[in-house]
């Protein structure tokens, strides 16, 4: 079953992240706002990956002096999804 989550990031230029997930694999990601080229690259890189693998690769990534980044906010959205779905 395909599940869609929407996440409102904090501390980044991105205003919203929508993720489609099927069997703990990323089907698609859409960012609203942020740096288009970088975010398009992220969406292509994580498509088809298992959530846990995405978390290993992008959780904790920082943007300059910020304590977070758009990839980190995606990881937080995915972590929240896992916690809510007891996976």
Element of type H or E holding 82:
helix 70-84
Secondary structure element (H or E) that encloses residue 58, with its range: helix 51-58
What CATH number corresponds to the domain at position 52? 3.30.390
Amino acid 86: pLDDT: 72
Boundaries of domain holding 44: 2-84
Backbone angles phi, psi at 71, to 5 degrees: -60, -40
Domain count, the chain: 1
Global confidence as pTM: 0.94
- Tens of pLDDT, residue by residue, the chain (87 residues): 999 999 999 999 999 999 999 999 999 999 999 999 999 999 999 999 999 999 999 999 999 999 999 999 999 999 999 999 875
Predicted local distance difference test score (pLDDT) of residue 87? 52
pLDDT of residue 65: 93
């Amino acid at each position: 079953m395909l599940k869609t989550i929407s996440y409102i990031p904090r501390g980044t230029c991105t205003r919203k992240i929508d993720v489609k997930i099927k069997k703990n694999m990323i089907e698609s990601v859409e960012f609203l706002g942020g740096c288009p080229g970088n975010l398009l690259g992220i969406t292509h890189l994580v498509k088809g990956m298992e959530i846990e693998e995405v978390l290993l690769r992008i959780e904790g990534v920082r943007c300059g002096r910020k304590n977070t980044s758009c990839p980190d906010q995606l990881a937080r959205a995915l972590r929240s999804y896992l916690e809510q779905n007891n996976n």
